[in-house]
Amino acid sequence: MSTRLRIDLGYLGTAFSGWAIQPGLRTIQGSLEDALATALRCDRGGITAVVAGRTDAGVHALHQVCHVDVPDGVKWGNLETLKKRVQGTLRTDDIAIHRISLAPEGFEARFSALSRTYEYRIDDVGSKRNPLHHAFTYRSPYALDDQAMNSLCAQLEGLNDWAAFCRPKPGATSIRTLLHYSWTRDDDGVLTGSVVGDAFCHSMVRSLVGAAVAVGRHTLSIPEVLALRDNKERTSSWSTMPAKGLTLVSVEYPPDDQLASRALDTRAKRGPTSD
């Protein structure tokens, strides 16, 4: 019988080909599973990290969550010590292990989650550019109308079929609830988009940002975006924004006694898809 561990971590995604393992490429999942197998002194094939949301190549995370089922008989001792061993074995500062803990009963990193929160940062022509933030901020050559962008966002929120914003995946649903979407400017004029949803299909967040940018540039109107959304077909009317500006900020879960029921409910609604 295995024991499930919850792992909270963050990463700078610039040098990685996304979360999911890909042959011959450096990925977050591959690096983490290799480090865990070494730190636990167990067979590499017995370690699989199941993540709350599979981020694309170049996307960052301040707080990602995954779980790992450790095979019976594998000893790890103190979990704080294990965290330090895994961090040391990673041999990189691009991945930070925040915490390793025993997962509560019924916990599934992906299906138990209530919501995911992402942020997207944009410097436009009116912003004061900070070179220290270059790795996680997109530079727009255009002035963006954040008031128009927020007007769009307010009308996008809610339960919808987001096929216009997602890369199609056979057998997967594109129905999601967009819980919150808004844009703010900081003191330097940098735009930050906050996007919260129960889950996201492949490329959905960066496509939502692309639609807002198109409205902010006045190349698309709000009614045009809403009509394309309601058409429920993948569109090229706006760009899927570059990965570098996108960061997973947090993953929210229900109380421990609701984890199992939340996972069952989510599985019933969703096919094999990428969050």
Catalytic residues: 56
> Which is nearest to 93 in space by CA: 196, 20, 12?
12
Q: Residues 266, 111: contact at Cβ < 8 Å? A: yes
Residues 6+ apart with CB under 8 A from 60: 10, 11, 12, 13, 14, 136, 246, 247, 248
- CA dist 24 and 22 (Å) reads 6
Query: What Cα–Cα distance (Å) separates residue 70 from each residue in 76, 90, 106, 255?
Result: 9, 18, 16, 23
Tokens of 24: 């011959």
- CA dist 70 and 68 (Å) reads 6
- CA dist 81 and 75 (Å) reads 12
End-to-end distance of the chain based on CA atoms, in angstroms?
29
Tokens of 191: 């735009």
Tokens of 122: 């944009």
In which residue are the tokens 């096919």 written? 271
Q: Judging by beta carbons within 10 Å of its beta carbon (0-12, 13-18, 19+), is residue 17 exposed, middle or buried? A: middle
To the nearest 10°, the Cα dihedral for 196, 198, 202, 206?
A: -10
